[in-house]
Structure formats: C-alpha cells, structure tokens
C-alpha cells in the first residue's frame, strides 16, 4: 500500500511538471527575502553606488506634454515612452520624434492603453484585456488582435511568432493557464496546476494585473500570489527560475481563494505583497515589490555568484535638474540602451541588459527626466 501511495504522489508531480511543458528537471535559485524585507535599507548616494548615471530630460512643448509616465521601452537608439494614454518616441537625447498610434474609436486607433508589449519589430498596444492594436516602430498600423475571452496578457520569446497568452484565474478554478497562439489561432493550451476551491464564506479577491513580466531581456514572469519566478524557453515551455522565501509576507494563492470578510476585518492581509523580477545585469538580479504599499519602496539586488542580497535606499546627489525633494532612485525598467545597429531587427535574446531605468519629475513639472544607471 505504501508503494502504491508513493507511486500516486510521483504521478501527480509528473503531471504538474508536464502541464508546464518542462522538458527535464530544471535548477532554480532560492532567495531568502525575509532578512531584507525586515531589515533596514543601506542608504547610499546613487552616484557612489553606480558605475555611471545618465540623465535624459524629455522634450516637452505644446504638441508633447508628458504626465503620468508609465513605462519606457527601447529599440536601437530610440526610446518609446508610455504616458497618460500616449506612446511617444524620443531619441537618446530626449528629443521628441513622433507618436505611435493615437487614441480614438477608429479601426487603426486604440480606445485606451492598458499595457504595451514590445516584441521583435512590433508594438502591441493592449486596449482591453484581450484586445490589441499592433503597430511598427514607424507608427504604421499593422493589425488588430482579438484573443480568447478571459485572457489578460502576452508572454513572448524573441524571434518566435507563437506566443503564450495568459488566462486570468480570478475565481481560482480556471482550468487553462495559457493558450499557445499564433496571431488569433489557438495552437495548444496549457493546463492550470493551480486550482483552488473556495472554502465556506470565502470571497473573491480580484487582483490586477494577474502576472508581471520582467522588464528586460530576461524572458521571465511572476504570477500574483506566487513565490516563484518562471522563465520561458525557446519552446515556450515554462520552468521555475527563482523561488522567494517570503514567509508571513506572502499572500499566497491558497489564501487568496479562501479569505473571508472576517479575515479582512482582522487585518490578516496587512503587510503582505508580491515580489517580481525586473531583470538581470551580469550576475545581479533586480527585484521589486509588485503589490503592496508603494511608500518606502527600495531596490533589492541579489548576486547569483556571491548569493548576497541587499536592499538599497539610493539617494540623488546634488544636481541641477530640480528633482522633487525626498525622491530616491528606484528602478522600474532594466534595459540595454546602448545599441547603434542599423539592422531592422536586433533579437533581444542576443542583448545584454546594461542599465537600470527610472524617471523623475522636476519641481517645475516640465521635462520629466529619464535616469539611466549602470550598476
């Protein structure tokens, strides 16, 4: 009987691995985050910590006013800036070039921008959970993309036309984790191993977004309420890359689908959040708080060789850019921003990320500044 039970457990484990299309067992990195979460951050002037710091004031005029900056993307020597319903292209000196697409009700316009995915030579503008408008880097409309119901994001791999399309699991019982798609055609589906039934009195806690892709050339993502960073391989298979030990600070999947109104009133969710990976530069992995109170956000840095984890409070030295008082450098993007190739497409897979990127607003609220840091 004992042998039969062991065989049954092994079968379940094998099925879970198969469901993520793992070719073979993979090694992963374990990081104990608790000492860094509970400990004080090391306060260091940014210019002392970094190898180099570059400030790029973005040009503003009557045609290009920037507010609510959301994200920065890069291709060769141009910067794509997502800000308050617009996608604007700048050169590396911060000069405004033109917009990608425009807001509107037309067939080549987007209703809103819920997210942006830059894949190879195309820009996918998410205007609804499952609807995209696609443009090239010259601003030309290419196509629209309507994905299956309940999908809420794309996971791509450089050079591949096929994509993983993420299916939200807001109720805890969604049977599919990903669709494998080429344009609007479903090629395959990947079962969801993370299914939870609601307990008595449990309520649905909607958490948006459902997953956080890395913001560099590292092809990885983290799901909400998970302690695991998954890496995507060239076959669109996923496997654990990093596992965080967060202890009591993790709001787990199981808790999410079995939380009651009484639990919330008792404050059992206080102090819990999700971690995600921005990306890697050399041996350093940069980690950020994906959910939780953004106040007092800090820079987490883990070295894969020394296995040392640090939490930094990186302050700006004196500068003439007039940054708001009390701001600190907290990277939001990890990118290679030093490419000058003339080729129409440089696969991200061959790039080595170089810079951490943040942006700051000066006191006069004009010309927001991109901050590029080489750690």
**Which pLDDT band, with edges at 50, 70 and 90, does 23 fall under?**
very low
Among the ranges 279-283, 292-296, 359-363, which has the highest mean pLDDT value? 279-283
Closest to 161 (Cα-Cα) out of 184, 133, 128? 184
CA distance 190 to 177: 6
CA distance 128 to 21: 28
According to the model, what pLDDT value does residue 267 have? 82
On the question of pLDDT at 244 being above 90, the answer is yes
CA distance 179 to 188: 6
Instruction: Name beta bridge partners: 80.
Output: 73, 89
| Position with higher pLDDT, 7 vs 257 | 257
pLDDT in tens, 293-330: 767 789 999 999 999 999 999 999 866 678 877 789 99
According to the model, what pLDDT value does residue 64 have? 85
Least confident of 13-22, 246-255, 285-294: 13-22
pLDDT in tens, 169-214: 888 889 999 999 999 999 999 999 999 888 888 887 777 788 899 9
According to the model, what pLDDT value does residue 350 have? 52
According to the model, what pLDDT value does residue 210 have? 85
Asked if the peptide bond before residue 209 counts as cis, ω within 30 degrees of 0, the response is yes
Percent of the chain with pLDDT over 70: 87
According to the model, what pLDDT value does residue 273 have? 84
CA distance 52 to 88: 26
According to the model, what pLDDT value does residue 6 have? 42
**Which pLDDT band, with edges at 50, 70 and 90, does 270 fall under?**
confident
According to the model, what pLDDT value does residue 290 have? 85
Closest to 356 (Cα-Cα) out of 346, 367, 340, 370? 370
Residue 158 structure tokens: 């450089």
Residue 175 structure tokens: 């049977």
Q: What is the mean pLDDT of the chain?
A: 85
Give the Cβ contact number of residue 223 at 10 Å.
22
């Amino acid at each position: 009987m004992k042998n039969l039970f062991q065989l049954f457990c092994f079968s379940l484990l094998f099925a879970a691995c198969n469901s993520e299309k793992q070719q073979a067992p993979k090694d992963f990195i374990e990081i104990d985050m608790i000492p860094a979460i509970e400990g004080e951050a090391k306060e260091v002037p940014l210019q002392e910590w970094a190898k180099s710091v570059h400030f790029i004031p973005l040009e503003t005029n009557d045609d290009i006013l920037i507010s609510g900056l959301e994200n920065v993307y890069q291709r060769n020597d141009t910067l794509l800036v997502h800000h308050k319903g617009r996608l604007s292209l700048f050169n590396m000196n911060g000069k405004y070039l033109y917009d990608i697409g425009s807001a509107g009700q037309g067939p080549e316009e987007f209703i809103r921008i819920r997210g942006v995915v830059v894949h190879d030579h195309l820009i996918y503008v998410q205007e609804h959970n499952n609807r995209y408008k696609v443009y090239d880097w010259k601003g030309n409309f290419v196509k629209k993309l309507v994905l299956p119901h309940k999908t809420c994001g794309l996971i791509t791999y450089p050079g591949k036309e096929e994509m993983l399309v993420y299916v939200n699991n807001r109720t805890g019982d969604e049977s599919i984790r990903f669709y494998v798609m080429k344009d609007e055609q479903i090629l395959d589906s990947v079962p969801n191993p993370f299914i939870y039934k609601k307990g008595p009195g449990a309520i649905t806690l909607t958490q948006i977004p459902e997953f956080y892709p890395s913001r560099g050339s590292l092809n990885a993502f983290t799901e909400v309420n998970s302690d695991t960073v998954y890496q995507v391989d060239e076959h669109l298979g996923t496997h654990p890359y990093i596992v965080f030990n967060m202890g009591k600070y993790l709001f787990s999947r199981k808790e999410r689908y079995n939380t009651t109104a009484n639990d919330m009133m008792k404050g059992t969710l206080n102090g819990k959040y999700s971690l995600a990976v921005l990306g890697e530069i050399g041996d350093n992995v940069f980690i950020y708080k994906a959910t939780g109170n953004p106040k007092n956000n800090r820079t987490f840095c883990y070295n894969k060789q020394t296995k040392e984890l640090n939490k930094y409070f990186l302050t700006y030295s004196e500068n003439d850019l007039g940054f708001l008082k009390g701001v600190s450098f907290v990277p939001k993007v990890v990118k290679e921003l030093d490419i000058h190739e003339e080729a129409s497409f440089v696969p991200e897979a061959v790039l080595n990320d170089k810079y951490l990127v943040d942006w700051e607003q000066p006191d006069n609220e004009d010309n927001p500044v991109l901050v590029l840091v080489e750690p």
